[in-house]
Amino acid sequence: MEIDADGLNLIKAVAAEAARESVPVAAEVPDAEDNAPPPAPVGDGEADERSAAASTPEDLAALLMQVGLSTRKKSPYLQGLIDAVRSKADAAVSKDGSLKPSTEAADDIRIMRFLGANKWDAAAAAEEYVSSLKSRKAKGLDALRDEIVAKNPGFFGGKEELDCIYVHGTSKALQEVNPRTFTDVRTEGPYRLLRDKRGNLVVIECVGVVDYAAIAAVGFEPWTKEFFTFNELRVLVLDELSRRCGKLLLTNTVMDMSHINMMPNPFAPKVEKDGKAAAKASSEVTKEVYPTTTFRNYMVNLSESTAKAAGPLIKALVPKRSADKLKIFGPDFQSALHEDVDCANLPQRYGGELPDGIQFKLIDAKGKKK
Residues of the chain with pLDDT under 50: 1-5, 22-37, 323
How many CB atoms sit inside 10 A of residue 41's CB? Answer: 16
| Per-residue pLDDT tens digits for 288-309 | 999 999 999 999 998 888 788 7
CA atoms of 282 and 141, how far apart (whole Å): 12
* pLDDT value at residue 184: 96
* pLDDT value at residue 22: 44
* pLDDT value at residue 64: 94
* pLDDT value at residue 336: 95
Q: What is the 3-state secondary structure (H, E, C) of 30-53?
A: CCCCCCCCCCCCCCHHHHHHHHHH
* pLDDT value at residue 298: 94
* pLDDT value at residue 36: 46
Own/partner pairs, 139-144, CB within 8 angstroms, 24+ separation: 139/228, 139/285, 139/289, 141/228, 141/232, 141/289, 142/102, 142/105, 144/225, 144/228, 144/229, 144/232
* pLDDT value at residue 276: 78
Phi, psi (5° rounding) for residue 254? -110, 115
* Sign, CA torsion 319/10/208/148: positive
Taken in order of first residue, the domains within the chain and their CATH numbers are 5-369 (3.40.525.10)
- What are the residue ranges of helices labelled H in 141-219? 141-151, 171-177, 212-218
* Sign, CA torsion 100/102/108/113: negative
| β 201-206/326-328 pair status | unpaired
* pLDDT value at residue 31: 38
**CB–CB of 320/29 below 8 Å?**
yes
CA atoms of 44 and 135, how far apart (whole Å): 35
Phi-psi region of 199 (alpha: psi -120 to 50; beta: other; left: phi over 0): left
* Sign, CA torsion 129/134/139/145: positive
Which pTM does this prediction carry? Answer: 0.88
**CB–CB of 118/23 below 8 Å?**
no
Residues 6 or more apart whose CB falls under 8 angstroms from that of 53 comprise 59, 75
* pLDDT value at residue 33: 39
* pLDDT value at residue 241: 98
* pLDDT value at residue 76: 98
CA atoms of 232 and 148, how far apart (whole Å): 8
DSSP 180: E
* pLDDT value at residue 78: 98
* pLDDT value at residue 26: 29
* pLDDT value at residue 324: 65
CA atoms of 42 and 59, how far apart (whole Å): 13
Residues 6 or more apart whose CB falls under 8 angstroms from that of 260 comprise 6, 7, 10, 207, 208, 302
Which residues in the chain belong to E strands, given as ranges?
180-181, 201-206, 251-256, 294-300, 326-328
